[in-house]
């Protein structure tokens, strides 16, 4: 099994990714934002959306699927809404700027929502939902993806993993941050298993015949070529474990991200062989003060989250968590001990560094 790791500091990894993005044509600010989003995923224990994706981003920039100089266009702008056409721009910077504008609108109107169409992969949805926390707002972020999920009773991909995120601030407790795919797992998790040389667990995906998929390489290839097979919706196969609920949520994300702003959806969204395809996003913010005193809201959130944490664990389990808690703890550990990277991922970084005349992040000794 391919599972040896090296460790690097958060700052070194972020600087390296920023330098790579700048070498590929992004502005300094856009490169910094893109690097921050990627490294945040690794730090929060979400390697499926972390810096292991750097080669795909580089390929996208080199082949023109991602346009570093895209002229981002505001298509519609009202006091409570915003529609942006990214024209193929890097997903993270245009998403971060859109979320900032949505937050500003919500300060005046109490709530605001926005769509970004013709964008590219934006990293973890939770990054953008969490941007609302410091403004005493609830944050919402979603994106559609290339079609990778099969509908209940189906065996052909018809929608993406279509993640959604929701963030709510607390006071003494860490924020509640739900960040989830609407399929059983995102494709990135299957790619992690592929890099590790592991078979897929039962219930994650079906093959081209609709049977349980085990081989990661075959599944990834079949999904890319649309010959059948795909990831199951949240809940799993059939109706017994409510897979139709994940199926419905995935379609809801497509409606908000794409149908609402006139962008491609479902099987019309596809990746290239070397890069993620053009996708669309949806963002929302709700000002807590439009409903009640934010301080009282945070106190009640503390009570709710503390009650969840203190729930007696099931036999054999150590703790009960609330959404986001594990990720905050993972980030704290990464700041102490460094971010773990698979050796093969680090080797890819070294190749990229050589290509662009850069220095890869230094590996921490003693790990």
pLDDT in tens, 341-367: 999 999 999 999 999 999 999 999 866
Q: What is the DSSP letter of 76?
A: E
Q: How far apart are CA 145 and CA 183, in angstroms?
A: 11
Cα atoms found within 13 Å of the Cα of residue 168, Cβ hemisphere only: 15
Write the pLDDT tens digit of every residue in 300-334: 999 999 999 999 999 999 999 999 999 999 999 99
Q: How far apart are CA 206 and CA 237, in angstroms?
A: 9
Low-confidence ranges of the chain (pLDDT < 50): 1
Q: Are 128 and 139 in contact (CB under 8 A)?
A: yes
Token code pair at residue 144: 């559609």
Token code pair at residue 269: 């969204």
> Which runs of consecutive H residues, i.e. helices, occur in the chain?
10-23, 28-43, 54-63, 91-109, 125-129, 187-196, 216-225, 243-257, 294-309, 325-337, 343-356
Q: How far apart are CA 104 and CA 73, in angstroms?
A: 18
Question: Percentages helix, strand, coil for the chain, rounded to the nearest 5?
Answer: 45, 15, 40
Token code pair at residue 25: 């044509």
The fraction of the chain above a pLDDT of 70, given in percent, is: 99
Q: How far apart are CA 162 and CA 254, in angstroms?
A: 7
Kindly report the length of the chain: 367
The predicted pLDDT at position 365 comes to 81
The predicted pLDDT at position 273 comes to 74
323 Cβ contact partners less than 8 Å away, ≥ 6 residues apart: 176, 177, 178, 179
The predicted pLDDT at position 3 comes to 57
The predicted pLDDT at position 1 comes to 41
Q: Are 158 and 223 in contact (CB under 8 A)?
A: no
Strands 230-231 and 164-168: unpaired
Cα atoms found within 13 Å of the Cα of residue 162, Cβ hemisphere only: 34
The predicted pLDDT at position 271 comes to 85
Give the Cβ contact number of residue 225 at 10 Å.
11
Give the Cβ contact number of residue 328 at 10 Å.
15
pTM for this one? 0.94
> What are phi and psi for residue 253, nearest 5 degrees?
-60, -40
Q: How far apart are CA 42 and CA 34, in angstroms?
A: 13
The predicted pLDDT at position 48 comes to 86
Domains and CATH numbers, the chain: 5-293+325-356 (3.30.1370.60)
The helix (H) or strand (E) run that includes residue 178 is strand 176-180
């Amino acid at each position: 099994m391919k599972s040896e790791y090296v460790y690097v500091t958060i700052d070194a990894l972020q600087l390296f990714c920023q330098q790579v993005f700048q070498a590929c044509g992004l502005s300094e600010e856009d490169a910094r934002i893109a690097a921050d989003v990627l490294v945040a995923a690794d730090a929060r224990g979400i390697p499926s959306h972390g810096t292991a994706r750097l080669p795909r981003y580089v390929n996208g920039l080199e082949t023109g699927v991602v346009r570093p100089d895209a002229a981002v266009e505001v298509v519609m702008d009202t006091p409570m809404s915003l529609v942006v056409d990214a024209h193929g721009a890097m997903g993270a910077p245009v998403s971060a700027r859109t979320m900032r504008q949505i937050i500003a609108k919500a300060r005046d109107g109490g709530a605001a929502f926005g769509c970004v169409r013709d964008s590219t992969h934006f990293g973890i949805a939770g990054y953008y939902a969490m941007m609302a926390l410091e403004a005493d707002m609830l944050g919402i972020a979603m994106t559609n993806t290339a079609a990778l999920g099969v509908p209940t009773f189906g065996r052909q991909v018809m929608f993406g993993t279509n993640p959604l995120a929701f963030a709510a601030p607390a006071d003494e407790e860490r924020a509640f941050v739900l960040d989830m795919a609407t399929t059983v797992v995102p494709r990135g998790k299957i790619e992690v298993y592929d890099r590790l040389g592991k078979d897929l667990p039962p219930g994650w995906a079906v093959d081209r015949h609709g049977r349980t998929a085990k081989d990661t390489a075959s599944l990834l290839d079949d999904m890319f070529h649309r010959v059948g097979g795909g990831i199951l919706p949240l809940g799993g196969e059939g109706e017994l474990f409510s897979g139709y609920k994940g199926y419905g949520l995935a379609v809801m994300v497509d409606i908000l991200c794409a149908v609402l702003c006139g962008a491609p959806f479902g099987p019309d969204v596809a990746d290239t062989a070397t890069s993620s395809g053009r996708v669309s996003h949806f963002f929302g913010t709700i000002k807590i003060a439009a409903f009640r005193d934010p301080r009282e809201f945070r106190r009640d959130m503390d009570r709710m989250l503390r009650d969840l944490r203190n729930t007696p664990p099931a036999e054999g389990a150590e703790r009960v968590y609330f959404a986001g808690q594990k990720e905050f703890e993972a980030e704290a550990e990464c700041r102490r001990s460094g971010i773990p990277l698979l050796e093969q991922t680090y080797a890819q970084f070294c190749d990229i560094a050589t290509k662009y005349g850069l220095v890869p992040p230094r590996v921490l000794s003693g790990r």
